[in-house]
Amino acid sequence: MRSGEESAERAVSQGSIAARLGLVLALLLAIGAGLIATLAFAYGRDAAQQAYDRLLLGAARQIADAAAPLDGRVVVDLPHSAFELLALSPDDRVVYAVFGPDGRIATGYDLPRPEQAAEGFHNGEITGEKARFAVSPRLFAERDFSGPVTVVVGQTTRARDALARQITERALVIMGLAALFMVLLAIFATRSALDPLTRIGREIAGRRPTDLTPITTPVPREIARLVGAMNRFMARLARQAEATGTIIADASHQLRTPIAALRAQAELAAEESDPERTRAIIGRIHDRSVTLSRLTDQMLSRALIIHRADAVPREVIDLRAVAVQATAETDHDLLASAADLELDLPDEPVHCLGDALSLSEASKNLLFNALRHGRAPVTISVRSEAGAAVLAVTDTGPGMPREIWADAATRFARSSGVSRTSAGLGLSIVAEVARAHGGELRFGHTPAGHFEVALALPLAEAAP
Amino acid sequence: MNLAAHVIALVLPALAWAQPGPEAVATYGEGPASYRILLRGALDIGNLDPAMRAFTAENPEIAVTLEQWNTNDLAAIAAAACRGDAPPADLVMSSAVDQQVKLVNDGCAQPYTSPATLALPPERNWRGELFGLTRESAVMVYNRALVPPEDAPVSRFDLLDLLRRDDGAYRGRVATYDIEASGIGYLFAFLDSTQATTFGRLIEAFGRTGAVATCCSAEIVDAVGRGDYLIGYNVLRPYAMARAEMNPNIGVVAPSDYTLVLSRAAFIPKAAPSPGAAGALIDFLLHPAGQRALTDTFVNEPEAAATVRGGAAIRYVPLNPVLLVGLDRQKRAQLLALWRRTFPPGR
């Protein structure tokens, strides 16, 4: 189904990064805005309060200054300038009163006498409107007049409220602009941060289907890990694709000729009337079939090993068990007698990390080669030496000539003995297994002068 | 004419013992008016008559009762109405702007906002409650027939010089407001006292030459027109101009040292029965048509005319609490004491 395909191709979306960042930023801005608005309001109120309190007190002091005793009474020549000062808050109502030492009002409005004796401020009302009052006392000590004259000046709070509002509003406007700037900056930052992802996406989308080379686009450190993982993943894909390609190429190249030969022999046999010759042809057909079967086995096991090298998790394996298994599974038709195959195992286990099946397959190949091409008796031995777990197969023959050692492990190498009965895949499988396990395939001679082929793998600690 | 105006002039004798009440009453608008608003004003009904006719013609749903009051009586009844001791008006209008500011300061007004009030400059709009509707200046008048042209005063200094003349030609022939009886007179005297040192010398000269303090603008101008006085000092220009138009003997001078200009101020009392209709009247009076009607009766003078005139320095009296200073109990007592020493009662 097309829709199914599409949904399979589409990545599982877990929301947008930009949306998440936006949400977090919005939350941050909202909290910040609330905080700053509260502060701005408090600041605006305080600033306006202070500014207008000074005017109010200034006016009260001027009136107090204008008070003078006359015939035992307080006389005030109400100063114009005091009211000019108060008129700086143009739309506010004003009340004032001057109290003599006896607490009676000398002039002004009928206000209650202030409780405090010291200079200061208090809040109140002027006929139903919120107001602020300043008190300014002045002490007289004359012969006929002594005591405090107290001036109270009150003013409604329109101007100071307006100033507080104005300060708050300006602060909020500035904050709004800052928030807008931050949002723009955040959008820009998010875009530029996510830009490498877009570039990688574009690079991958623009590739040929067979291109599995690593991504080389320069990316920030945070994304490099992702790109590294992708590169490793693609390398694995590339190896498997290559292995698959190799198998297909091998199959087409190697199987065609023996199958064609088989068919020709079979046709010959069908036309042959002489029973003696017919039997000879059938014998050849059987030989060829065995070779073909062996070749197919090897090719499939090689493919399997290459597949397992990447696909199967490693476990701790005792090489002694591998050697025993390989010995048990070896085709006993190849042995002239049971004494031809010897097992030489240490008492202590020799551990390595690996895939049991691959290792056992590799060991069987080594054994097969030794039995087929070497001279009996053949010994399979396991040992640990210099940090390596070694599984070695020795025979008593001369072994492979030294000059073909380097080439012996490549598949279908002529020199490694491609013949009617062997495609020469055996050593290449062993070499593949060694490579997949991080080890190597070694050729050499024992101190006794016997030819030895060894699989050397990194030694592993035994599992706890 | 379907807009007949009934003017009932109840010219009461301005006696000291007279019960406070309107000097005259006029009604405008007839027929099925939905609102009848009461305008209490310290003004000459004649000065406002054309404006009222135009207003009721334009707003047939509103009828207007116009009461003419003396400034002090008006302030008293407005304060009483504010306390709830008298029936409230819908609009209170007075040229004694200090008293108006005090009434608004005492919370007797209610706010009114319209495009017209918002367009007013700050000195003519206090708190959105008190509105300066006109421009009127304080002028000197003199009798052209009796004052020789070379004597015609242009400034307060000229007036001082005339009073100080050795021949005593102006002794007892100069009149000004009785500031005890007239709110506007008191306001002018107070403003003079804050404006210049000329005031002290003027008061002193008034006292020495036996100048006459009398009641109202109209009375002073009429007396100058008749030749009872040669010069009237600190007279509201509308009264002077209205009479100068009929009597060519009356000369009007805006003092060139400084000319006080104030706005007749109006507010809508807190308890006004029809504040909306009162607001409509304010809007009409501020509207060019209303301003023109006021200008025709000299209650208003165009700004251009005021500034061009003789290069006089205009001292505009803004509507704000600074005017409260003059109404301070002790301040008033001090000024009145000075005044009484200058114009001893019973002269």
Q: What is the DSSP letter of B136?
A: E
Tell me whether residues B127 and A75 touch, CB distance under 8 A.
no
pLDDT at A265: 87
B84 touches chain A (CB under 8 A): no
Q: Which residues of chain B make contact with A99, given a CB cutoff of 8 A? A: none
Of A77, A94, A106, the CB nearest to B324: A94
**Between B194, B321, B334, which is nearest A94 by CB?**
B321
Greatest mean pLDDT range, A179-183, B132-136, B215-219: B132-136
Helix (H) or strand (E) holding B187: helix B183-195
Determine whether A464 is exposed, middle or buried from the number of CB atoms within 10 Å of its CB (0-12, 13-18, 19+): exposed
Q: Band of the pLDDT at B3, cuts 50, 70, 90?
A: very low
Contact B127 A129 (CB under 8 A): no
d(CA A301, CA A455): 17
**Between B206 and A3, whose confidence is greater?**
B206
Q: Which of B113, B131, B328 should be substituted to probe chain A, the one whose Cβ sees the most A Cβ atoms within 10 Å?
A: B328
pLDDT tens across B210-264, in order? Answer: 888 787 788 889 999 999 999 999 888 888 888 888 899 999 998 888 889 999 9
Question: Which chain B residue shows the shortest CA-CA distance from A75?
Answer: B330
Interface test with B, best of A70, A78, A96 (most B CBs within 10 A): A78
Q: Between these two residues, B96 and A305, which has the higher pLDDT value?
A: B96
Which is more confidently placed, A375 or B322?
A: B322
Give me the residue from B104, B194, B321 closest to A86, CB to CB: B321
Rounded to the nearest 10 degrees, what angle do helices B45-58 and B288-296 cross at? 150
Q: What confidence tens digit (pLDDT) does each residue in A36-58 have?
A: 888 888 988 999 999 999 999 99
CB-based contact, B328 to chain A, within 8 Å: yes
A79: which chain B residues are within 8 Å (Cβ-Cβ)?
325
Helical spans, DSSP H, in A251-318: 256-271, 275-311
Percent share of chain A, pLDDT over 90: 16
**8-state DSSP, A10:** S
Query: pLDDT of A97-122, one tens digit each?
Result: 999 988 889 999 998 888 877 899 99
Q: Could you tell me what percent of chain A has a pLDDT over 70?
A: 91
pLDDT of residue A416: 43
> Which amino acid does the sequence have at A412?
F
pLDDT in tens, A112-153: 888 877 899 999 998 888 999 999 999 988 877 888 899 999
pLDDT (0 to 100) of residue A415: 45
pLDDT band, residue A220 (cuts 50/70/90)? confident
Bridge partners of residue A135, in order along the sequence: A120, A152
Please tell me which residue of chain A has the smallest CA distance to B194: A80
Contact A78 B325 (CB under 8 A): yes
Can you give the pLDDT at residue A338? 63
Give the Å distances, CA to CA, from B255 to A89, B125, B152: 32, 26, 11
- Percent of chain B past pLDDT 90, that is, above it, reads 41
> Which of B104, B194, B320 shows the shortest C-beta gap to A87?
B320
Q: Test A108 with B334 for CB contact under 8 angstroms.
A: no
- What number of residues does chain B have? 347
Query: So what's the ipTM on this one?
Result: 0.83
Contact between B126 and A90 using a beta-carbon 8 Å cutoff: yes
| Distance between CA atoms of residues B63 and B281, nearest Å | 10
Q: Assess whether pLDDT exceeds 50 at residue A32.
A: yes
Type of residue numbered A386: A
Domains of chain A: 44-164 (3.30.450), 313-458 (3.30.565.10)
Question: Are the Cβ atoms of A87 and B105 closer than 8 angstroms?
Answer: no
Model pLDDT, residue B346: 55
> Where is pLDDT greater, at A168 or A373?
A168
Q: Which residues 6+ apart lie within 8 Å of A199 measured at CB? A: A217, A219
Average pLDDT value for residue range B152-174:
87
Please tell me which residue of chain A has the smallest CA distance to B107: A127
Using pLDDT thresholds of 50, 70 and 90, give the confidence band for residue A71. confident
What are B74-94's pLDDT values in tens digits?
Answer: 999 999 999 999 999 999 999
Q: Is the pTM of this model over 0.80?
A: no
Enumerate the residues of chain B whose CB falls inside 8 A of the CB of residue A94. 105, 321, 324
Q: Which of B106, B324, B330 faces A76 most closely, judged by CB atoms?
A: B330
* Bridge partner list, B41: B68, B93
Q: Hey, what amino acid is at B14?
A: A
How far away is chain A from the Cα of B313, in angstroms, using its nearest Cα? 21
| B320 closest CB neighbour out of A75, A90, A158 | A90
Q: Map residue A31 onto helix, strand or coil.
A: helix
Contact: B330, A106; criterion CB under 8 Å = yes
| 8 Å CB contact of B325 and A108 | no
Looking at the complex, report in whole angstroms how far the Cα of residue B243 sits from the nearest Cα belonging to chain A.
36
Q: Which of B107, B126, B321 sits opposite A83 (nearest CB)?
A: B321
Contacts 24+ apart (CB under 8 A), A225-232: A227/A200
Whether B337 and chain A come into contact, CB under 8 Å, resolves to no
User: Is B120 near chain A, with CB under 8 Å?
Assistant: no
pLDDT of B1 strictly over 50 = no
Nearest 5°: CA angle at A446, between A355 and A456? 20
Q: Taking chain B, what is the end-to-end CA distance rounded to the nearest angstrom?
A: 50
Chain-centre distance for alpha carbon A326:
44
- In chain A, what are the helix, strand and coil shares in percent, each to the nearest 5? 55, 20, 25
Q: With CB atoms and an 8 Å threshold, state whether B331 touches A126.
A: no
Burial B61-91 (b: 16+ CB within 10 A, else e): ebbbbbbbbbbbbbbbbbbebbeeeeebbbb
State the burial class of residue A67 (Cβ atoms within 10 Å of its Cβ: 0-12, 13-18, 19+).
buried
Tokens standing for residue B245: 């138009």
Q: Which residues between 180 and 209 in chain B have a beta carbon less than 8 angstroms from any beta carbon of chain A?
A: 194
Instruction: Give mean pLDDT, residues A241-248.
Output: 80
Give the nearest partner residue to A77 out of B127, B329, B334, using CB atoms.
Answer: B334
Are the beta carbons of B126 and A91 separated by less than 8 Å? yes
The more confidently predicted of residues B20 and A164 is A164
What single-letter DSSP state applies at residue A131?
Answer: E
When CB atoms are compared, the residue of B104, B107, B322 closest to A80 is: B322
Residue B222 CA, chain-centre distance (Å), reads 16
User: Which residues does chain A have within 8 Å of residue B194's beta carbon, measured at their own beta carbons?
Assistant: 80
**What is the C-alpha separation between A370 and A327, in angstroms, rounded?**
12
pLDDT band at A424 (very low <50, low <70, confident <90, very high): low
Which of B46-60, B142-156, B201-215 is predicted least confidently? B201-215
Lookup: tokens for A61:
């002091």
**Nearby residues of A407 by Cβ (< 8 Å), 6 or more positions away:** A413, A415, A416
Residues of A engaging B, defined by a Cβ cutoff of 8 Å: 75-80, 83-84, 86-87, 90-95, 106-108, 126-129, 158
The contacts of residue B34 (CB under 8 Å, 6+ apart) are B61, B62
